[in-house]
Amino acid sequence: MGDVYEKAYFDNQIVSFSDANLSIASSAVLYGLSVYTVFPISVTKNNERFAFRLPQHYERLVNSAKIIGMDTFISQWRYEKFLHVVHELVEANNIENDAYVRVSVHVNENIAGTRSRGLKTTLSMFIYDAVPILKPEGCRLKTSMWRRIPDSAIPSRAKVNGAYVNSVLAKQDALDSGYDDCIFLDINGHVCELSAANIFIVRDGVLITPDSTSDLLEGINRKSMIEIARGDLGMEVVERSIDLTELYIADEVFTTGTSANISPVLEVDARKISNGQMGPVTKKLQKIHHDMRHGRHKLHKNWLTDV
């Protein structure tokens, strides 16, 4: 993770990052009762600043709060207010390079017990350097000994801070074993996702990704790549259950995510994927993704919000 910018948004105002603090007795600290989203801001050569699919990130934040039952947030924050704060924070930090913005909604009530409704919520927002969590030239993955938390235990569609202990366990095990990240399997043994990114494979010209019932986060970049591949590149795209061994014999494997961008997977469980190099589909999507975020591609310019 890169350096954090000096100014943050917390408790309805711009403050120094060091002053944006929660009580150790808050539900957010005691139970991990926060939800969040992360979106990128790309800076062009003309110093334009674009946020990628900002309305969808706001919607996911709202939906995450709704799923968990954090009901006071939705009534207090409309998209127009959210957008205004993003503008305000970007200006306060005078962003000149690509960055990530992390927005969280915290249950900020002390000793509230294990409940979520009718409690005070606080929105925080901070900006940090856009250092990707996976290398753009390729990564090595290890199937995790830990299974992905099922949607019936902690909802996968909600980005709940406390649930990421699951990801920490799995990724740390992969790092300890000399890999870059993990592959989660769901409770049925099907491929789910990485610790913080979605996964795709290419087999015989078909783009395949686990469907949304596989206990995965319905990633915004995942959805974007499906739309581009299917609608703009004319590829057949299939969402279905994927067996682990399908990764071993795939023509290509790659990951998507706000912080992962598009990263080719070169090896899984000590098995080289195809020839161990980035494949043509991954290469094409990676370039489209990068150019599109920076306003240099004709596709989907409506996905960019000027901030």
Specify whether 144 is located in the same domain as 277.
yes
What digits encode the pLDDT tens for the residues 247-272?
Answer: 999 999 999 999 999 999 999 999 99
What digits encode the pLDDT tens for the residues 110-128?
Answer: 999 999 999 999 999 999 9
* pLDDT in the model for residue 275: 96
* 258-296 per-residue burial string, b: 16 or more CB within 10 A, e: under 16: bbbbbbbbbbbeeeebeeeebbebbeebbebbeebbbbe
Q: Answer whether 92's CB lies under 8 Å from 7's CB.
A: yes
DSSP class of 19 = G
* pLDDT in the model for residue 52: 97
Specify whether 72 is located in the same domain as 13.
yes
pTM comes to 0.95
Q: Answer whether 192's CB lies under 8 Å from 216's CB.
A: yes
- Which of 129, 152, 167 marks a domain boundary? 129
Specify whether 144 is located in the same domain as 287.
yes
Domain count, the chain: 2
Q: Are strands 139-143 and 261-268 parallel, antiparallel or unpaired?
A: parallel
Q: What residue numbers bound the domain in which 39 lies?
A: 7-129
Specify whether 168 is located in the same domain as 260.
yes
* pLDDT in the model for residue 2: 76
CATH of the domain at 19: 3.30.470.10
CATH of the domain at 191: 3.20.10.10
Instruction: Calculate the alpha carbon distances from 201 to 141, 197, 284 in Å.
Output: 14, 14, 14
Specify whether 144 is located in the same domain as 284.
yes
* pLDDT in the model for residue 4: 97
Specify whether 144 is located in the same domain as 235.
yes
Specify whether 114 is located in the same domain as 234.
no
Cα gap 216→192, rounded to integer Å: 6
Specify whether 44 is located in the same domain as 86.
yes
Q: Which residue has the tokens 């915290």?
A: 106
* pLDDT in the model for residue 222: 98
Residue 20's H or E segment, with its range, is none
- Planar angle of CA 242, 243, 244, nearest 5 degrees: 115
Where are the strands (E) in 13-130, listed by range?
13-16, 34-43, 49-52, 99-107, 121-129
What digits encode the pLDDT tens for the residues 70-89?
Answer: 999 999 999 999 999 999 99
Instruction: Find all residues with CB under 8 Å of 38, minimum gap 6, and list them.
Output: 57, 100, 101, 102, 103, 258, 259
* pLDDT in the model for residue 298: 83
* pLDDT in the model for residue 297: 85
The parts of the chain modelled with pLDDT lower than 50 are none
* pLDDT in the model for residue 1: 63
Tokens of 108: 């900020």
Specify whether 66 is located in the same domain as 201.
no
How far out from the chain centre does Cα 303 lie?
A: 16
